[in-house]
Every structure is written in C-alpha cells, then in structure tokens.
Amino acid sequence: MQGLLAINFFVLRIEENGVPTLTPKTGYLPTLDGWRAIAIVAVLLDHTVGYSNLRQYARLVSFTHTGPNGVSLFFAISGFLICTRLLEEKRAFGQISLRGFYIRRACRILPPAMFYLLVIAVLSFCGLIIVSPGERWSSMLFFRNYLPENWISRGWGGYTIHHWSLAVEEHFYFLWPAALVFMGKRRARWFALLLAFAIAARRTWDFHRHWFDRLIPGLLFGGRTDVRMDALLLGCVAALILDDDAVRASFSQSFRPWMWWLCVGAYLAVQGVYFLQRTRSYSLFESALLPLVVAGTVYGPKTFITTLLESGVLKWIGRLSYSLYLWQQLFSVPAESSFSILQKPPLSTAMIFPCALLSYRFIERPLIRWGHHLAPPLTEGRDDLVNQHTKMLVGVNPSGCRV
C-alpha cells in the first residue's frame, strides 16, 4: 500500500538504455508565472509613475493606475491555483491535509514578508524612513487593510500599504481550504459562488452608503477583505468547474481564441469606464472575467499569447513576483532623508530587482524547500524547487512513512 501511494509522486520514464527511472511528477503551470509577471509589472508601473514627479500630469497618472488591476490578477491566479492544488491532493489521496497546506503556505509567505518588515523597522529606527508601530503590527498580524488612516504615518500610504493584499490572501487561506475540506467539492462550489455574489451585493451597497466607513473611518475601500474576497473565490469556482476531466476537455475544445479576446476586451472596457469616471467600484463582472482569462491560457488552445506567457523572461519575472511586490514599496515612497536618493527613478527601479533577487535566493526559495521538507506536497512544481527533494520523495510517502 505504501509503495502504491508513493507512485502518486512519480511517473515512469524510459531512458534511452531502456532502464525505467522515477521522475518527479509536476503540477507546475508555467503560464501562471507569465501572468504573475504581467501582474507585478502593472503594480510597478503604477507605483513608479504615481510616486514620481510625473504626478503633476494627472491624466498620465490616471492612465497608468494599473496597480489595482495587477493585484486583482494576483487574486485570480491565487484562487485558481490554490484550489487546483487542493483538488489534486484530494483526488490523489482521498483527503486534504490542512496541516500540510498551512505549513507550506507559512514557509512560502511569512519569511520574506517578515524580513521586509524587519528591514523597514531598522530603517525607521535609524531615522531614514517613517513607519508607525501600528503599521508594523497590523502588517505582521495581517490586519493592515483594516488599520484606520490616523494610525498610519503617511495617511493610507507608506511603506506597508502593500500588506493590505497579503492580509486579504491570508484571510482567504484561513477560510477556503477548511471550507473545501468540510463541505466537499460540490457544496464548496456553491458556497464560493454564493459568497462571491453576497460580497458583490454588499460591496455595491456599501460603495454608495459608506456604512463601513462610518464605522471605521479612513479605510481604503478597495483594500478590505469584505470588498475584495470575491476575486479569489471566483478563481476557486473556475478551478472547481474545470476539475472535471470531461468539462476540461470540452473547455479545451470549445474555448476559441476569439472568446478569449472577447473576455479581455470586456475587462478592458470595464477599466475604461473606471478611467472616465475616475473611480473604481470593483464589479463582480470583472472579478469573474479574470479567472476565465487565466484559465483560457492554461486549458484553452495554445496560441501566441500562451507562448509569450511561457517565455523565459516572463517566467523569470513571475518567479520573482512575490519578492518584487514586497520590495518595490520601499523604493516607491519618497522619504525626507538621505535615503530619498534611492527612491527616485530610474535608480529606484534599479534597486528593486537586486533586493528581490537576494530575497528570492536566500529567503524565499530556501524556505519554500523547507516547507516542502516538513510537508511534502503532491507535486513539487518548478525544477528549481524539485532537485533537492527528489531523493526525499523517493523514500517518503505523503503521510511521512518510509516506503
């Protein structure tokens, strides 16, 4: 039995000499790295222009206000991928290990984020930047998106503003895996869909009534979990629907490139309306379009868009996207000190990539591997995470017993 379980981690590959060898199976979807690259570029464009001297050109800044779109894309990717991997585990072993999921997520998310907070705390202590204690604690405990404006040193902005999206992600992690485990696939699908509709309805009501803003004044409307969670949940709905082999096969055959372009056009049309109105209300329509756009490149027909998303440059940027997202904020907000010289374009942009590379190389990737060591996943994913674990997986089944 243990030997049969171990087969789930491998597929047989026949070498040229005819000797069968065990090769790690992979659940890695390279297209998603390309989408992560698109998302982080949208954030970098927004912050580079928005915090620079170009702010005096109001229309240009409005046109390049793509940060919210980048984060929405991150949410769609996260919901789609997290649910897909959980369903793979359920299909392979008949159950989902919440313990294993949270160990891997903690090792993936926490170390780079906490190290960034440590760095800005040291810079704040040295007087180079200003970060309030409330910002640091709310970011560490993932309620930064519910911290009132008067608790923050630079209004809503500052060096921890991007932790609002990490808070939304963490709240999703606490909700969704448990819901999938206890409700099962069929009920979880309806739960995610109904909850997404409920959030959208309440968001529309609160956008006009401002009830929550009266309760806790000074919150960023688009940063609250109760406003943005549907972007993640609809990614889960897409993964749940496409988890069926027959549905996925039908989708691959029926979803034509023109349909994909129609979805992209519809999403851009919504953004055009926001641009003209100079306000953003985050509709359920756009939250539903992004998972469909992403899924269309993962399971739809292969086009030049898929080839582009899987290109080496975009995959490289996509792998760095989390570290880039963390460190870009430090070099985006102008400081009133000698540190400000590093926060002016193009030097600020040049500083982001080395910091992200160091974070990825020495913190993010080693801790991901450690998380995989503590709780081996069904599939190891990318090659750069596989190599050091192949021997371990040959001798360990998912329950941790030797085979």
How far is the C-alpha of 87 from the C-alpha of 236, rounded, in Å?
10
Q: What is the pLDDT of residue 403?
A: 29
How far is the C-alpha of 226 from the C-alpha of 200, rounded, in Å?
9
The percent of residues above 70 in pLDDT, for the chain, comes to 81
| Beta-strand runs (E) in 16-92 | 20-24
Q: What is the pLDDT of residue 48?
A: 78
- Cα–chain center distance at 266: 22
- Work out the burial of residue 205: count CB atoms within 10 Å of its CB; fewer than 13 is exposed, 13-18 middle, 19 or more buried: exposed
Instruction: Give the CA diameter of the chain.
Output: 72
How far is the C-alpha of 24 from the C-alpha of 45, rounded, in Å?
38
Structural contact between residues 232 and 74, judged by C-beta atoms closer than 8 angstroms = no
Q: What is the pLDDT of residue 18?
A: 39
How far is the C-alpha of 42 from the C-alpha of 141, rounded, in Å?
27
Summarised one tens digit per residue, pLDDT across range 273-324 is: 888 887 888 999 999 999 999 999 999 999 999 999 999 999 999 999 999 9
Query: Which residue's structure tokens are 């448990």?
Result: 178
The percent of residues above 90 in pLDDT, for the chain, comes to 64
In 3-state terms, what secondary structure has residue 278?
coil
Residue 62 has pLDDT above 80, yes or no: no
Name the residue with higher pLDDT: 361 or 45.
361
Summarised one tens digit per residue, pLDDT across range 64-75 is: 678 899 999 999
Task: Tell me which DSSP letter residue 396 carries.
Answer: B
Structural contact between residues 192 and 236, judged by C-beta atoms closer than 8 angstroms = yes
13 has which bridge partners?
21
How far is the C-alpha of 319 from the C-alpha of 29, rounded, in Å?
12
Q: What is the pLDDT of residue 172?
A: 98
Query: Which residue's structure tokens are 């596989």?
Result: 386
Summarised one tens digit per residue, pLDDT across range 148-198 is: 888 876 544 689 999 999 999 999 999 999 999 999 999 999 999 999 999
Q: What is the pLDDT of residue 386?
A: 53
Cα dihedral value 368, 372, 378, 384, nearest 10: 50
How far is the C-alpha of 22 from the C-alpha of 396, rounded, in Å?
14
Q: What is the pLDDT of residue 50?
A: 63
pLDDT band at residue 63 using 50, 70 and 90 as cut-offs:
low
| Phi, psi for residue 91 in degrees, rounded to 5 | -70, -35
Q: What is the pLDDT of residue 228?
A: 96
Summarised one tens digit per residue, pLDDT across range 125-155 is: 998 888 888 899 999 999 999 998 888 765 4
Residue 387 has pLDDT above 50, yes or no: no
How far is the C-alpha of 295 from the C-alpha of 24, rounded, in Å?
24
Residue 203 has pLDDT above 60, yes or no: yes
- Work out the burial of residue 108: count CB atoms within 10 Å of its CB; fewer than 13 is exposed, 13-18 middle, 19 or more buried: middle
How far is the C-alpha of 386 from the C-alpha of 278, rounded, in Å?
46
Mean pLDDT of the residues in the chain: 84
Task: Tell me which DSSP letter residue 18 carries.
Answer: S
Q: What is the pLDDT of residue 396?
A: 41
Q: What is the pTM (predicted TM-score) of this model?
A: 0.87
pLDDT band at residue 107 using 50, 70 and 90 as cut-offs:
very high
